[in-house]
A and B are shown apart, each in its own frame.
Chain A
């Protein structure tokens, strides 16, 4: 390793993975399927989430292939509708919402606050089972004819005008919702009740703060989606009339209830990602996060404001003009905490000592793409421009910048960052840097042209489009191919590294978090003895002193 890296690995010729750790503690499939250990559940989640991400990604590939030409020639419009609906449903409910909280969050939360597990290990396992059940229900509905309502289940289309598996899919999302409620609930209880002595609220790593904020959203928002889906199912199965305009019901009410959850849901997706970025940027610039309190509180501010803005999804649906004023204004306000975060991260670099390992590259990618995603969100929050841009590819590009460019970059950043802690081995640095670069380029090529398409007026969810949009669509499809390679690479080399990666040691990044002060992979009980925290978060000087002491004593 050259001098411009932070990595400090043990001597590879003598280093060994600790014999006793959470992976080797017990053997056999049952010991995994009945485990209460948050690290094992996180591993189960990681595997299942990767599986569903692969399916969702393959569907995305099909969408892009179809859009290569203006006609609907690869598949019929009906098939196309099912493909994009399934892509949306799988990606939103089975990947984006649980991804960071259920994998990294699950793995790290107790480690970061110095606890031996989450507060309710059984509920944690139950949450994974619910997730898997939901996943299989969605796969089942996909194989038995699919669903073609889009992930938004707009009534009365979903209740009266399609004959696909709306009920199965709705129930699946209901179940997945419970999974997410239980995860969030578990986190909140854990953070409140299980912090190690000395771990005050303002010593918590920012990852914990942002997951806490996301958990609040999960616990408070998800049930509204649940009841909305119940009403959709009842409407479809029995015709109770609440959403049916023919009986005096109101389809706009569905939109209100649906977006009451589904807007906060995007913050459920992005907030934990922001937490990852805070950790990574701080570690690789060897500096405390600039304005820790501001970043912490901006997470909570986002969580609170997230509930006040849902109607901005409905500006052109014939809602009251006057209420759009309220919601547009509040939406502008929720953009501010995100701006604060971006600038605080940038200034964390100031006077740091920066190195450019893969997690850091992904984080830079996140900051750039999330800034674009956030700023284009303002185009849609402003009611005047929203009229023209909504329901076009501008929206598609906007939320992919936030979700894929933002959250997925953060997810990959976090996976690389904590991979040594999780598995005890390093990922191969050079190829992963290449993968980060490929992802970044592929991403921009895929989604940037879609902004222009949106401005031109190309509607979303179209299987066929006027020929003058083709050039940009071809760019987009080409980019998607590159992006696909960018996502395939980590799956391959991370699997490879499980066996052949270098031994990482306890703290390869010389990071300050509690999780780095224990062996990798950790013991089942995490800490041999409950740690007592006597230093602030991101205190690199404390770390240096500690390392010196260890060397001197040794």
Chain B
């Protein structure tokens, strides 16, 4: 019944509003520190791999396409297609996390995890990091005080992407559960509410990334 869809999707929207405020606190912090420590943020963002970041954005956008396709399949009662869409979304979510893991791992290797043997060497002495130095040869060495503020950038980077990744993990777990149920035909009998509401959640997580991507990766890429 329409009423039922309405009620739960309204509840889902309210939940998403709480999520907006949840990430809102992070974005607010980011904004303040970015204004304070702009040079540090620029230099630190050059440490992120734009290739992996862009790839991840694309992965999420495609998964954001397969998800409403899944809803459409459920609407039009195509069970096989629904399962396929959900599986695709599931796999894309995993791909995203895999790429994210690779990025995190690189940060760990480079001592860019806050407090974890954090090193400002790449910023006080760009030549010590030949890879990034080649891409951004004009990056001047930061004075030590500014270089230290890159730790705040990475703190925010891990907090924001970490919270986002946590949402992805929760989403993927629910997806797994949904695939299981979809194969039993649970959503192709007219009950699309669950799929639809999960879609809303999944898109929200996507939107968060749409903002994280330019804010964290694209601060100032021109050399």
Contact = CB atoms under 8 A, between A and B. Distances in A.
A and B touch in the complex (CB under 8 A): yes
Interface stretch (B13-21, B177-185, B198-206, B209-217): B13-21
Contacts of B36: 248
B77 interface: no
Interface stretch (A214-222, A399-407, A421-429, A539-547): A214-222
A240 B159 contact: yes
A474 interface: no
Contact of A185 (B11, B26, B162): B11
Nearest to A241: B155
B11 A227 contact: no
Contacts of B20: 223
A192 to B, nearest CB: 7
Contact of A224 (B14, B15, B22, B114): B22
A248 B29 contact: no
A220 B25 CA distance: 12
Report whether over half of chain A's contact residues are helix, strand or loop; otherwise say mixed.
Answer: helix
Contacts, number: 114
Interface string B158-188: 1100110000000000000000000000000
B163 to A, nearest CB: 7
Nearest to A231: B159
Interface in A217-240: 219-224, 226-228, 230-231, 234, 238-240
Contacts of A260: 25
Interface stretch (B2-10, B42-50, B97-105): B2-10
Interface stretch (B87-95, B125-133, B145-153): B145-153
Contact of A192 (B10, B15, B22, B159): B10
A220 B16 CA distance: 10
B152 A185 contact: no
Given A193-B10, A231-B159, A239 B114 contact: yes
B194 interface: no
A226 B24 CA distance: 11
Given A193-B3, A227-B23, A238-B114, A120 B159 contact: no
B136 interface: no
Given A181-B18, A248-B149, A119 B11 contact: yes
| Residue of A221, A247, A248 contacting most chain B CB atoms (<10 Å) | A248
Interface string A307-326: 00000000000000000000
B8 A220 contact: no
B33 A219 contact: no
Contacts of A219: 14, 17-18
Interface residues of A, number: 36
Interface string A77-89: 0000000000000
A189 interface: yes
Given A192-B10, A247-B148, A240 B18 contact: no
A238 B154 CA distance: 12
B33 A242 contact: yes
Contacts of B18: 181, 185, 219-220, 222-223
B114 A220 contact: no
A250 B36 CA distance: 11
Interface in A244-302: 247-250, 253, 256-257, 260
Interface string A193-228: 110000000000000000000000001111110111
Given A123-B11, A239-B114, A228 B25 contact: yes
| Residue of B17, B25, B162 contacting most chain A CB atoms (<10 Å) | B25
B157 to A, nearest CB: 9
A186 interface: yes
A226 B154 CA distance: 21
Contact of B7 (A189, A221, A241): A189
A408 interface: no
A153 B4 CA distance: 41
A188 interface: yes
B114 A223 contact: no
B159 A223 contact: no
B38 interface: no
B15 A240 contact: no
A223 B22 contact: yes
Interface string B69-92: 000000000000000000000000
Contacts of A247: 114, 148-149, 151-152, 155
A222 B21 CA distance: 8
B32 interface: yes
A222 B24 CA distance: 12
B28 interface: yes
B218 interface: no
B156 interface: yes
A193 B19 CA distance: 22
Given A219-B17, A231-B29, A248 B159 contact: no
B26 A119 contact: no
B30 to A, nearest CB: 9
Nearest to B146: A248
A119 B9 CA distance: 12
19 contacts: A119-B7, A185-B11, A189-B11, A193-B10, A219-B17, A220-B21, A223-B19, A223-B20, A227-B23, A227-B163, A230-B163, A231-B26, A231-B159, A234-B162, A238-B115, A239-B114, A240-B159, A248-B33, A249-B33
Interface of B: 3, 6-8, 10-11, 14-15, 17-26, 28-29, 32-33, 36-37, 113-116, 148-149, 151-152, 154-156, 158-159, 162-163
Interface of A: 119-120, 123, 181, 185-186, 188-189, 192-194, 219-224, 226-228, 230-231, 234, 238-242, 247-250, 253, 256-257, 260
Instruction: Give the 5 A-B CB pairs with smallest separation, nearest first.
Output: A240-B155, A239-B115, A227-B25, A223-B22, A223-B21
